[in-house]
A and B are shown apart, each in its own frame.
Chain A
Amino acid sequence: MKNRIKVLRAERDMTQEQLAELAGVTRNTIISMEKNKYSPSLKLAYRIAHIFGIGIDDIFTYEEEIDGPSGDDE
């Protein structure tokens, strides 16, 4: 799963800390997502989309074969 969180965050002049606080996750999770190391759960993905005020499809792009823990299979 690839995402545009870093770009969207920069557009809104938002820090990782602020986004983490709004999404209710740790800053490390935001960092991991921005590096495409961690795929968030559907719940977190919707929360982030809601924070940015856009649809999930505008943030996340599905791609096969990305290694790393995923929140979806929790």
Chain B
Amino acid sequence: MKRITYLTCTLVVASMVAEMVGWSMAAGNFLIPVIAIPLGVIVILACRAQVDIVIADERENRIRGRAALRTLEVVAIGGAIAAIILYSYIVSIPLAPIITGKLVIGDDGRQSMTIAEYQPGSVPGPDTLVRSTTINDLSSMNESEAFAYSSYVREGFKENEDRGLAGTTIAGCLAAMLAIFGAFYLYYNRKY
């Protein structure tokens, strides 16, 4: 088997396994991945054994090792920066939206409130207004007003929280990746 045939086989098998895993997840059948993934690995290893030319030697391994190490360094540094930037959306006040509430008591004693959301880090004003809502009578607010009142702050911060969640996820993945690297490093350090 030529190298190109082996690569084609690997690509086809990987695509089929990915498709089967995706379909099984959608269908809620978790038995298929348990069978499909090891089967795919076996087929790829069998194809690899049939390749009649040298596909990886010491130079190739050395280059891959260096490339993997550089990738790890770039991803670790880039990921750490991205994680910190994204997480700062949760904890940093200048990056958070400005939400104000203005209570007005009328001559008849009726309380109305206007809630407004302004762009993060801006001076509240008509130009920086993102959205606003007014509850005409706080003591007898209707269902939609009550919903708007309860969800306003939550929705205002949702975008920041999503970014923070992405940052936390990246940080988690990074920590896991470095932990795996450390485990392999210790393993090979003991082996050689």
Contacts and interface: CB of A to CB of B under 8 A. Distances in A.
Nearest to B56: A26
Contacts of B65: 74
B57 A70 contact: no
B59 A71 contact: yes
B54 A71 contact: no
Given A21-B54, A25-B57, A29-B58, 17 more contacts: A20-B54, A21-B53, A25-B54, A25-B58, A26-B57, A26-B59, A26-B60, A29-B57, A29-B60, A32-B59, A40-B58, A41-B58, A69-B62, A69-B66, A71-B59, A71-B62, A74-B65
A15 interface: no
A26 B54 contact: yes
23 contacts: A21-B53, A21-B54, A24-B54, A25-B54, A25-B58, A25-B59, A26-B54, A26-B55, A26-B56, A26-B59, A26-B60, A29-B60, A32-B59, A40-B59, A41-B58, A43-B58, A44-B58, A69-B62, A71-B58, A74-B58, A74-B61, A74-B62, A74-B65
| Interface bracket on B | 10 to 19
Interface residues of A, number: 17
B91 interface: no
B77 to A, nearest CB: 23
A31 B21 CA distance: 42
Contacts of A29: 57-60
